[in-house]
């Protein structure tokens, strides 16, 4: 195959691109079954987890419907809906929201206040605090400090007020779905 400027590409030892591999070489099986091929340029083998054992050009197996599987999946979905509606789950979500929503508003207000003050009152921000350090530098470093403090406070709040309840919910949910799936999860 030639490049766009008319000169030959590569050493001519074989196909140079995925487009050349596909030109007229698609097996009838892939066309008839609609199976995705590994050498398909639109197929992302790394993201899908396939491509390790089939080799190049092997069709991707389609999932086989198993009897009873749909009923078990629907029952498992009902378990998750039941857990979501439970008082324990609502309490965990409420604890999360009671911390995160005010913290986000406070931090966003502090950030917007810093930006607005820096743009509307440059004289105030240029006022020296100690030597070459001015109010703007102190407030800017304060942004970093409050970010770390907020991260620490969030982790502490999660550890003390939510993690144990969330772990119990997860355990209960797994036990309920394990019972539906027949002991295998």
Res 30 pLDDT > 50: no
Could you give the C-alpha distances from 85 to 81, 88, 94, 169, in angstroms and in order? 6, 9, 13, 12
Q: Which of 73, 77, 146, 153 is nearest to 114 (CA)?
A: 146
pLDDT tens, position by position, 94-118: 999 999 999 999 999 999 999 999 9
pLDDT digits (tens, 9 = 90+) for 137-164: 999 999 999 999 999 999 999 999 888 8
pLDDT above 70 coverage of the chain, percent: 58
Q: Counting every residue, how long is the chain?
A: 185
pTM of the model: 0.54
């Amino acid at each position: 195959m030639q490049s766009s400027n008319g000169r030959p590409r590569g050493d001519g030892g074989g196909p140079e691109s995925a487009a050349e591999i596909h030109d007229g070489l698609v097996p009838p099986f892939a066309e008839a079954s609609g199976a995705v091929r590994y050498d398909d340029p639109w197929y992302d083998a790394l993201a899908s987890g396939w491509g390790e054992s089939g080799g190049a050009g092997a069709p991707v197996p389609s999932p086989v419907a198993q009897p009873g599987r749909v009923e078990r999946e629907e029952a498992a979905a009902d378990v998750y809906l039941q857990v979501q509606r439970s008082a324990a789950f609502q309490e965990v979500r409420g604890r999360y929201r009671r911390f995160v929503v005010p913290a986000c508003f406070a931090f966003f207000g502090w950030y917007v206040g810093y930006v607005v003050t820096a743009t509307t009152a440059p004289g105030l921000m240029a006022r020296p605090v100690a030597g070459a350090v001015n109010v703007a530098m102190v407030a800017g470093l304060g942004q970093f400090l409050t970010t770390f403090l907020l991260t620490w406070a969030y982790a502490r709040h999660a550890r003390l007020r939510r993690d144990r309840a969330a772990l119990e919910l997860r355990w209960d949910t797994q036990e309920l779905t394990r019972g539906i799936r027949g002991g295998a999860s």
